Copies of this chain bind each other. A is one copy, B any other.
């Protein structure tokens, strides 16, 4: 977000030595009280004039509640100026990394039924309490299933899930990251290995306005891409809203009038730019990763006394490090994306009957 020129106040909910994809880390989690104290510190010095809040992982139900209270307070402060505050919520629910840590997915660590919840059981109800205050959520496919109660096995059930999320939680903007349409058994697109991002901004009658963007899948597991996607999306969404008709920015939750079609939505324009940026960054990450692994392979083995288990662990750590997303080195692709993949309307036959 800073690379896009956003002034960011980061309220850390964890202080870890590294991301959890390494399967080992040290550090501490913020308590709910620490989160509340930091926000109180901002309030007492009148430093809460935020345009956007992006909330993410929280380590406990109490922390979710504390973050929810911050979002609600900022919404309350902005009440008299519709559109002056926007809340994007990342990770309404969190799912565990697959055990092998290596999957071919460009956008999110986990999808579909391979995911397992890795927060305490009491966190999910707490998330469900605050989620209907969000202006935008960005669940992955598995999280969308948990939220909607609908098993996603086709584009049609996916559309139903988004409709349900709009309706059940009154969330105006939804983006589902990392849909693998080729894995849908009935899909005629089963041969192409691409990732699809599905988005929708609600219409005044509560129905979804669906668009999709397809990007080629890259054969690598990257950590942190979900966070990157969410951060870029809120920044680009605000930009697109401010580039649209001037009434939109002072409309609650930035919901476009019904006559704006799906592919012309600010959310669609934002998604297209974000995916262009991410595809460029991840392509370059893949190149850098391969170069790093080649260099490691040709380097001498310095510690010959390692057991087989230790060697495997070392190799896993090396591969994880090599796949760290090269964000800052590729900042220009964030600032100036080369758009290659456009937003598309859904085909009528992909929609469930009620939406055709």
Q: Which residues of A approach B to under 8 Å, CB–CB?
A: 2-3, 5-8, 12, 15-18, 22, 24-28, 30, 34, 37-42, 44-47, 314, 317-318, 320-321, 326, 328-329, 331
Contacts and interface: CB of A to CB of B under 8 A. Distances in A.
Nearest to A26: B41
A24 B45 contact: yes
Contacts of A326: 7
Given A26-B38, A28-B37, A46-B314, 6 more contacts: A2-B3, A3-B3, A3-B331, A24-B44, A27-B37, A27-B38
Contacts of A22: 45
A329 B5 CA distance: 5
A328 to B, nearest CB: 5
Contact of A42 (B17, B47, B320): B17
B18 A42 contact: yes
Contacts of A37: 17, 26-28
B17 A328 contact: no
A45 B321 contact: yes
Contacts of A25: 41, 45
10 contacts: A2-B2, A5-B331, A15-B30, A17-B41, A17-B45, A18-B45, A26-B37, A26-B40, A27-B37, A27-B41
Contacts of A38: 15-17, 26-27
Given A2-B3, A3-B2, A329-B5, A47 B18 contact: yes
A24 to B, nearest CB: 6
A219 B314 CA distance: 55
A17 B5 contact: no
Given A3-B3, A328-B5, A317 B15 contact: no
B45 A317 contact: yes
A65 B46 CA distance: 36
Nearest to A316: B45
A96 B45 CA distance: 20
Contacts of A317: 45-46
Nearest to A43: B17
Contacts of A6: 328
Contacts of A26: 37-38, 40-41, 44
A269 B37 CA distance: 43
* Pairs of residues from A and B, 5 with the lowest C-beta to C-beta distance, nearest first: A17-B41, A26-B41, A26-B37, A17-B38, A2-B328
Contacts of A18: 41-42, 45, 47
